[in-house]
């Protein structure tokens, strides 16, 4: 029994070390898996804001990273679905940076039935250039309404507009009912 416990302890230390190393090599600034609430959103965005403020990064880039994080996290806290037996809105959040850009990666469970509509929105946004994104944003602001969940249907358009990058996404099927939706937003460093 004790032996087993010890072994487990070691493998966890290994895991923690491997993770530390891999975070260092991949220049990951933040990783989180768990419930995503407004409190969590505020905490992570201000954490990232403060750590970016210490860098040489331009205000513009800092602001864009902050902005994308808020939209992605609020998307999760408003729209994420749950695995059976879970109540809360959960998700993963990762922020990494390389020479060229910051990547904000978020992931959450989504009901398979919602995928076609979301995919359509993502493809639509990805098909537009800056000018047309701005036109779509204005149209949606005028015609849209704040939903019961508090969303305005503007988040994805805005991320694409502010970052100037295509939205990179994937759906990984978890079972017949739900999938895992991963969204990568890229903010270029200039």
Partner 1 sequence: MEVINIKGTEDTPNVILDKENGKFEISGRSLPEDVNMFFEPIMDWIDEYSEDPLDKTVFDFKLEYFNTASSKVILDILLKFEEIVEDGKEVIVKWHYHEDEEDMLEAGEEYADIVEIPFEYIVLED
Binding residues (CB under 8 A) for partner 1: these are 38, 41-42, 46, 58-60, 63-64, 66-67, 70-71, 74, 77, 134, 137-138, 141-142, 144, 146, 150-152, 154-155, 157-158, 162
Query: Of the two residues 54 and 172, which places its CB atom closer to partner 1 in the complex?
Result: 54
Q: Which helix (H) or strand (E) holds 34?
A: strand 28-35
Query: Of the two residues 77 and 179, which places its CB atom closer to partner 1 in the complex?
Result: 77
Alpha helices in the chain (DSSP H): 2-25, 38-53, 59-79, 115-126, 130-143, 155-163
Query: Of the two residues 45 and 184, which places its CB atom closer to partner 1 in the complex?
Result: 45
Q: Phi first, then psi: what are they for 173, rounded to 5°?
A: -65, 130
Tell me the closest approach of the beta carbon of residue 57 to partner 1, in angstroms: 12
Query: Of the two residues 61 and 110, which places its CB atom closer to partner 1 in the complex?
Result: 61
Tell me the closest approach of the beta carbon of residue 113 to partner 1, in angstroms: 24
How far apart are the C-alpha atoms of 71 and 154, rounded to whole Å?
A: 9
Spatial CA neighbour of 32 closest among 88, 108, 98, 114? 108
Query: Of the two residues 178 and 183, which places its CB atom closer to partner 1 in the complex?
Result: 183
Q: Phi first, then psi: what are they for 3, rounded to 5°?
A: -60, -40
Spatial CA neighbour of 26 closest among 100, 107, 104, 96? 96
Tell me the closest approach of the beta carbon of residue 31 to partner 1, in angstroms: 22
Tell me the closest approach of the beta carbon of residue 23 to partner 1, in angstroms: 27
Tell me the closest approach of the beta carbon of residue 71 to partner 1, in angstroms: 6
């Amino acid at each position: 029994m004790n032996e087993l416990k010890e072994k487990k302890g070691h493998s966890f230390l290994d895991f923690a070390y491997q993770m530390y190393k891999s975070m260092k090599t991949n220049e990951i600034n933040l990783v989180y898996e768990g419930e995503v609430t407004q409190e969590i959103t505020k905490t992570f965005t201000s954490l990232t804001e403060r750590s970016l403020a210490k860098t040489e990064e331009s205000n513009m880039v800092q602001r864009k990273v902050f902005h994308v994080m808020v939209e992605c996290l609020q998307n999760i806290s408003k729209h994420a679905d749950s695995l059976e037996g879970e109540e809360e809105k959960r998700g993963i959040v990762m922020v990494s940076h390389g020479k060229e850009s910051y990547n904000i990666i978020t992931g959450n469970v989504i009901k398979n039935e919602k995928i076609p509509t979301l995919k359509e929105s993502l493809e639509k946004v990805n098909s537009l250039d800056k000018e047309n994104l701005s036109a779509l944003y204005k149209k949606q602001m005028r015609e849209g309404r704040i939903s019961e969940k508090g969303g305005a249907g503007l988040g994805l358009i805005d991320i694409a507009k502010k970052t100037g990058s295509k939205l990179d996404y994937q759906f990984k099927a978890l079972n017949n009912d739900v999938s895992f939706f991963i969204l990568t937003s890229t903010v270029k460093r200039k």
